[in-house]
């Protein structure tokens, strides 16, 4: 059913459109299209995906939120009806030879984020033609589709780890492939759709871990910690934050509980702390690390550094929220 029909069926009058930055140049066209039938507001703000359906201030004033680009996160209790219009890239046809390196494996676990999901199904057919079995792993309640990954969820890796000999991540950037490798002891390959080649990412992960430890080890001598929780509906882990806060106190550290929406380096600097443990989206700690003047640790990093000293780097994954 198309989205206009869905909105009419729920008798929506006022709607909020959330449009990813890449589609924002179409904002006037989309607004005018929906305005024929509804009272429309567009959010000017960027957003993280289905974990972030915008600022609650607006919810009372709309009947439904329409979010472009992402797939629902089923275990979030959305306070308003949300229609997710998933965006899937067109399938790029690929030469079979790209995959010859994988013929040494019997079974490959396939993974992708939502925009490359159709490409992943297409790749599955190629691999089968090459005589390789494929597994599209089960995901937990935070994910909508089998084999789907988010930067904060690799349940598809965990569920299929026993059944596969290696993983192939269908994507463009490194981030999801690194997450998959950190979640598994098996070989992980990235099918980079920009470069149209597959690549074993072991070395990249080693580099990632070394760089990351270099940064987070600066937190070992920290005295004053901010435990920061993001208020976004699908990133809010207050209980985890309070748990970490109590652990810090029992370690003899000075700690405060801090809230933010879209944390920024300027606000952190004002608080005059030596380190941050951030319980929201792990990409803030990992991708934005150079923006912050103090180390910003994921909860898993905090744990491995202070609680249970471990040489195995564990990715922070969000399984559920408070």
> Does residue 180 interact with its own copies by CB under 8 A?
no
CA dihedral over 66, 67, 72, 78, signed as positive or negative: negative
**Considering only residues 38, 236, 292, 306, which one is a binding residue for its own copies as defined by CB under 8 A?**
236
Among 57, 95, 185, 221, binds its own copies (CB under 8 A): 57
Candidates 142, 176, 215, 232; binder of its own copies (CB under 8 A) is 232
* 135 belongs to the binding site for its own copies (CB under 8 A): no
**Out of 80, 133, 238, 243, the residue judged to bind its own copies by CB under 8 A:** 238
Site mask for its own copies (CB under 8 A), range 82-121, x = bound? ----------------------------------------
Residue 31, interface with its own copies (CB under 8 A)?
yes
Long-range Cβ pairs for the range 198-207 (8 Å, 24+):
198/98, 198/99, 198/101, 198/102, 198/168, 201/174, 201/177, 204/174, 204/177, 204/178, 205/178, 205/181
CA separation for the pair 120, 114 (Å, rounded):
10
- Distance CA(145)–CA(284), nearest Å, equals 25
String marking each residue 250-289 x if it binds its own copies according to CB under 8 A: ----x-xxxxxx-x---xx-xxxx----------------
Please state whether beta strands 14-18 and 254-260 pair in parallel, antiparallel, or not at all (unpaired).
unpaired
Q: Residue 190: CB partners within 8 Å, gap ≥ 6?
A: 168, 169, 171, 174, 177, 198, 199, 201
* Residue 58 in contact with its own copies, rule: CB under 8 A: yes
- Binding range to its own copies, per CB under 8 A, among 22-30, 84-92, 110-118, 291-299: 22-30
Among 64, 150, 233, 305, binds its own copies (CB under 8 A): 233
Cα-trace Rg, the chain? 21
Report in angstroms how near the CB of residue 90 gets to its own copies at its nearest: 23
Rounded Cα gap, residues 153 and 140, in angstroms: 9
Smallest gap from residue 244 Cβ to its own copies (A): 14
Nearest approach in angstroms of CB 224 to its own copies is: 6
> Quick check: helix, strand or coil at residue 34?
helix
Q: Which residues contact 296 (CB under 8 A, 6 or more apart)?
A: 268, 275, 276, 277, 278, 284, 285, 288, 289
Give me the least distance between CB of 21 and its own copies, in Å please.
5
Give least dist CB 309 to its own copies, A: 27
Q: Please state the φ and ψ torsions of residue 14, each to the nearest 5 degrees.
A: -110, 130
Instruction: Centre a 10 Å sphere on the Cβ of residue 219 and count the other Cβ atoms it contains.
Output: 20
Interface residue list for its own copies (CB under 8 A): 16, 21, 24-25, 27-28, 31-32, 40-46, 54-58, 61, 224, 226, 228, 231-233, 236, 238, 254, 256-261, 263, 267-268, 270-273
């Amino acid at each position: 059913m198309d989205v206009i029909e869905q909105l009419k069926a729920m008798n929506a009058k006022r709607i909020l459109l959330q449009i990813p930055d890449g589609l924002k140049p179409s904002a006037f066209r989309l607004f005018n299209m929906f305005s024929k039938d509804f009272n429309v507001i567009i959010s000017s703000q960027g957003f993280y995906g289905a974990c972030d359906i915008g600022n609650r201030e607006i919810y009372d004033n709309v009947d439904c939120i329409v979010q472009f680009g992402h797939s629902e996160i089923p275990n979030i209790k959305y306070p308003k009806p949300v229609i997710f219009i998933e965006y899937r890239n067109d399938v790029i046809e690929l030469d079979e030879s790209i995959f010859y390196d994988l013929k040494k494996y019997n079974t490959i676990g396939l993974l992708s984020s939502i925009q490359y999901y159709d490409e992943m199904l297409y790749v599955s057919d190629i691999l089968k033609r090459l005589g390789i079995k494929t597994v599209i792993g089960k995901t937990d309640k935070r994910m909508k589709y089998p084999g789907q990954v988010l930067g904060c969820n690799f349940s598809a890796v965990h569920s299929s780890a026993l059944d596969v000999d290696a993983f192939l991540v269908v994507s463009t950037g490194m981030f999801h492939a690194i997450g998959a490798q950190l979640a598994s002891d098996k070989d992980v390959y990235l099918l980079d759709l920009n470069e149209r080649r597959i690549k074993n990412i072991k070395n990249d992960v080693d580099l990632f871990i070394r760089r990351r430890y270099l940064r987070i080890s600066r937190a070992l001598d920290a005295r004053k910690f901010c435990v920061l929780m993001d208020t976004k509906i699908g990133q809010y882990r207050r209980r985890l934050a309070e748990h970490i806060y109590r652990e810090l106190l029992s370690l003899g550290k000075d700690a405060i509980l801090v809230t933010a929406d879209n944390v920024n380096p300027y606000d952190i600097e004002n608080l005059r702390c030596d380190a941050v443990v951030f319980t929201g989206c792990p990409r803030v700690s990992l991708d934005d690390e150079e923006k912050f003047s103090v180390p910003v640790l994921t909860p898993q990093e905090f744990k491995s550094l202070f609680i249970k000293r471990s040489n195995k780097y564990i990715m922070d994954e969000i399984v559920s929220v408070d």
